[in-house]
Structure 1
Amino acid sequence: MTDAVALNGSRAKPANADIAIRIWLGCVIALIFAMVVVGGATRLTGSGLSITEWKPILGAIPPLSAADWQEAFDKYRQIPQYQLVNKGMSLEEFKFIFWWEWAHRFLGRFIGVAFALPFLVFAFAGTIRRDLAPSLIVLFALGALQGFMGWYMVQSGLVDRVSVSQYRLAAHLGLAAIIYAAMIWVALGVGQPARTIKRSWAWLSAAGLVVFSFIQIVLGAFVAGMKAGFAYNTWPLMDGEFVPDGLFVMQPWHLNLFENALTVQFNHRMAAYMLFGWAILHAIAMMRTERAGRLSAVFLAGAVTLQAVLGIWTLVAQVPLSLGLVHQAGAFIVLAIAVYHLHRLSRGLKG
């Protein structure tokens, strides 16, 4: 009969412990995905600045009385977004945006608890391998950093702006993508024997697809932060041209990459074309030369194709809430499949 292994790795761990840990991590991954979707809704509804304070513990309690609601509303009315964009908003209208932001923050707190408590239970039960524990600790630290990053982002919109900084938004969403991808990788490896990765052309190409999927998410965050998706709502042309004028009108030139709405959207489009072509060619090459990872390569190419179609649809429809959320969710689905595909190649697994 096999014994559970303690964190010091002194004993062998049974398979049912691996299954339990995978289920736990899978649930946290699903919560992170939900967090991304709710975060997108918070952004698209303009709700992100409705809570002007950061109270990691007490902030979990929403206003409970009319006086509490009025106090929260009065604080919101002091920031530029209310004074320049939402002046005259009623208390009921404020409650709508407040609940979106409160749900986003509450879900973040819930994810922290959903990760930390089971980790402690598994640790005290001695069912976490010594080689797995450091990865889980790093993931928890990244999650804590993400909470701080969220407030750091909100702060940028409380004084001199009517929305958050696109730089901080990109950092916040980018860190979410890193945590999400890393947790998927760790979950897939639970209970699997360590293997030496063979860095074949297929593996390097798959790794590049993971990295490029992440880059495209960050580029999308700049589009969202600049509200660049609400302009140039034609496809395949932008402002009547495939390569529009005005891409580098700002000086120094590199500011255009992050602060020129035309350039920001153009870069997101071009990156989408590159990712689409890369995924299709990768899948074709995999079908012809590789045995491992063929099916996941095809699924990845299909997901990228669907995401490209969603992106075009969202753009020409001028970013309605429903399509905006589906498109953001699609980006994280593509990233998940890319990580899964790379993991299978790393272990030489079929499918």
Structure 2
Amino acid sequence: MAQKRSIFEEVTTDEKPAAAPRGGLIEKGRGGARRGIRLWLLVIFALVMAMIAVGGLTRLTDSGLSITEWKPVTGAIPPMDEAAWQSEFEKYQQIPEYQIQNAGMTLSEFKSIYWWEWGHRQLGRVIGLVWAVGYAGFALARRVPAGWHRRLILIGALGGLQGAIGWWMVSSGLEGERLDVASYRLATHLGLAFVILGFIAWYVFLLGRSEPELMQARRARDGKLFGMSTGMLHLAFLQILLGALVAGIDAGRGYTDWPLMGGQVLPPDPFDLAPVWRNFFENPALVQFIHRCVGYLLFAYGIVVMLKGRKSAYRVTAGAFTLMGAVLFLQVVLGIMTVLHGAPLALGLAHQVGAVALFVAILHARFLSQYPKSQSVREAR
């Protein structure tokens, strides 16, 4: 018979209490290889950045029309002998760019522009392959976090659409009297590249922190600063599209004085094309003038946003807006130098890469205004 215990007697037990579950229900339900997927997206991000740079070089070297067919699979194999090279050269000789601009080009000269365009398309195939293999691997291993399948599929779908738009762009320069691709199609192609880059960057930022941390951070969001940075992001995107229009018609090489254009505030003959709407896409003087004006507006608004962001109570957020302002200033200087020197290859490429850096810097500052990083009392501003 068990002994009776006093109600005042201390009761001890050798059993240890069960450990509390780690991470909570939210974290448990949203598992997956967040770190691995983030690393994979960073690789794709770097490849897309390289794609934008190579695309810029392809445009600046007038190589984009050297391949006159779209063969997504078999096109990955370049000409392997002289007969194949001659066949490709003969196809190029049938388009207006050769007949009007490059008549008399040798096979050796053709090869140099062919390799630029082939490399550009090959890099696109590599990006598609890296996405497909990576997504399939994470999906089959059931390591995709909850709610992330649609996001990752979106990137792949946009990549496929980008390939189709790339051919739509190239096809515009293969017939008629056009010597280059249509500038508005070039702007669409570049714009979608930045959209893809933006989604990848945002997802990388999200995956860099846990779901509970993001939920906690969102309670401290700065709605006004988020709205201002969103407006700046849209304005920067517009400026990128205008830059593509400038590149599409070589408008950056027409007026090499600054701050005036042709010695005037408003350039000569800004509306000499008919109908009038064509001037906004095809008149080099007006297109470059608009690009300059939007650049001034972006710079002025960017200073306002930076000063607002620097007042943030969160040190990391304030630092991100300071960095954004510095990149914006550098990009403006690069733009002016590119104009003054007639858009040479090196400066033109640097200006395009600078656009990528600015776009990502704005995105990062915008992200931190939405999800500020927690800090200790000592770190508080």
Partners in 1 of 2:236 and 2:267 — Cα distance? Answer: 25
Cα distance between partner residues in 1 of 2:135 and 2:186: 29
Structure 1: distance between partners of 2:201 and 2:92? 38
182-191 vs 45-54, greater mean Cα deviation? 182-191
User: What letter corresponds to residue 119 of structure 2 in structure 1?
Assistant: A
Identical amino acids, percent of aligned pairs: 42
> 1:336 deviation in Å?
0.8
- Counterpart for residue 266 of structure 1: 289
Asked whether 1:28 is paired with 2:31, we answer no
Shift of 1:209: 1.4
Tell whether the 8 Å contact from 1:295 to 1:350 is kept in structure 2 after alignment.
no
Q: What's 1:187 paired with?
A: 204
Shift of 1:137: 0.8
Partner deviation per Cα, 1:175-229 (whole Å, 9 max, x = no partner): 1011111111112112532545846221111111111111111000000011100
Matched, 1:164 2:181: yes
Name the aligned partner's letter for residue 80 of structure 2. Answer: L
- Offset from partner CA, 1:211-261 (integer Å, 9 cap, x none): 111111100000001110010111111111223343334454433221221
Equivalents in 2 of 1:319, 1:81: separation in Å?
Answer: 21
> 2:302·2:328 contact (CA, 8 Å) conserved in 1?
yes
Matches within 5 A, 1:1-351: 12-13=30-31, 17-160=33-176, 161-190=178-207, 192-193=210-211, 195=215, 196=218, 198=221, 200-291=223-314, 293-349=317-373
Structure 2 counterpart SS, 1:49: coil
Are the structure 2 counterparts of residues 107 and 289 from structure 1 closer, same or farther at C-alpha, using a change threshold of 3 Å? closer
Aligned CA distance change for structure 1 residues 129 and 84 (closer, same or farther; 3 Å): same
| Counterpart AA for 1:71 | S
Shift of 1:290: 4.5
Distance 1:135 1:289 in 2: 30
TM-score, L = length of structure 2: 0.86
Letter of the 1:78 partner, please give it. Answer: Q
On the 8 A contact 1:294/1:350 being kept in 2, the answer is no
Per-residue CA distance 1:138-194 (angstroms, 9 max, x = gap) = 111110000000000000000011110001000000010111111111121125325
User: In 1, distance between residues paired with 2:311 and 2:165?
Assistant: 44
For structure 2, the residue ranges without an aligned partner over 5 or more in a row are 1-18, 376-381
State the distance in 2 between where 1:289 and 1:107 align.
40
Question: Partner of 1:288: helix, strand, or coil?
Answer: coil
Deviations 1:278-324 (A, max 9, x none): 11121112223543611010100100100110011111111111111
- How far did 1:275 drift? 1.1
The corresponding residue for 2:6 is: none
Aligned length: 344
Distance 1:91 1:165, change over 3 A: same
- Farther-moved stretch of structure 1 (289-298 vs 113-122): 289-298
- TM-aligned CA distance change 1:61 to 1:241, over 3 Å: same
Larger Rg: 2
Mark the CA change 1:34 to 1:267 in structure 2 (over 3 Å): closer, same or farther: same
Q: Deviations over 1:23-43 (max 9, x none)?
A: 100010000000000000000
Distance in 1 of aligned mates of 2:263 and 2:250: 20
Distance in 1 separating the partners of 2:308 and 2:141: 46
TM-score under structure 1 length normalisation: 0.93
Name the CA shift for 1:268/1:241 in 2 (closer, same or farther; >3 Å).
Answer: same
Structure 1: runs of 5 or more not aligned: 4-8
Q: Distance in 2 between the 1:324 and 1:79 partners?
A: 26
CA contact (8 A) 2:233 2:362 kept: yes
